[in-house]
Amino acid sequence: MSWRARFTALPFWRSGTSDKPNGSSGLRKILYWSPLGIVLCCRIFEVKVITGRSMQPTLNPDWSLSRDVGLFDRTSVLVDEDIGREDIVVLKSPNDQRRKLIKRIVAVEGDTVNTLPPYPFKKVVVPQGHVWVEGDDYYNSDDSNLFGPVRRFPLCLNPCSNVVQVPRGLIESKLLCLLWPLDRFGAIGNHSPPESRAHPAFRRAMAVIERESARRARVTPGPWPGFSPSQQ
């Protein structure tokens, strides 16, 4: 018997019973649709424990006593306007798609990036349908400076093409907020330093701000739409 059949068999579900409580119609609707709501929430959102040090100090900073736990959105990566520079995403490693990485989108298609070692070119224009990702601690990160731009969307095919298998996008979800630890609960991105230079968090906040400025200075926004990808 299905879950719907079980609920409709309950006494308060049947209309016309004398002992039906007030508001039972609303309760029936909640019970009827709640499994669907739970399934949709699980499909749209996911909670992940964040491992690794490549996103320090934004995620899993040394001063934290526990691993960060984040809420991730699976649908925003499918909409062009909902993902862009500075977003933190979960993606499959281009070198081993069984391995999941968490990185920051530094540049989008058309942008020119001044790369870091070991990337073989000093500059690269991000190709169409791709993004450039890096760890915030990029000297301890396997990212686009190692494997190049990351494919975001499936490739578009000509209807007459004989290609059967279409490579899928590697980005799976976007970080919405931190759920744990509670002292850092909420959205990522507020690094305003305390007013007092004597405050313990002052140097940490200033270091993050300087790191962000250096990262953004390496990216030149490109034309949109339409460009000719090239490497220099």
Q: Which residues are catalytic?
A: 54, 103
CA distance 25 to 14: 10
Query: How many CB atoms sit inside 10 A of residue 84's CB?
Result: 12
CA distance 101 to 94: 10
- Closest by alpha carbon to 175, among 47, 42, 40? 47
- Closest by alpha carbon to 88, among 136, 51, 45? 136
- Closest by alpha carbon to 97, among 188, 159, 165, 168? 168
How buried is 147 (Cβ within 10 angstroms: 0-12 exposed, 13-18 middle, 19+ buried)? middle
CA distance 88 to 172: 11
CA distance 152 to 110: 14
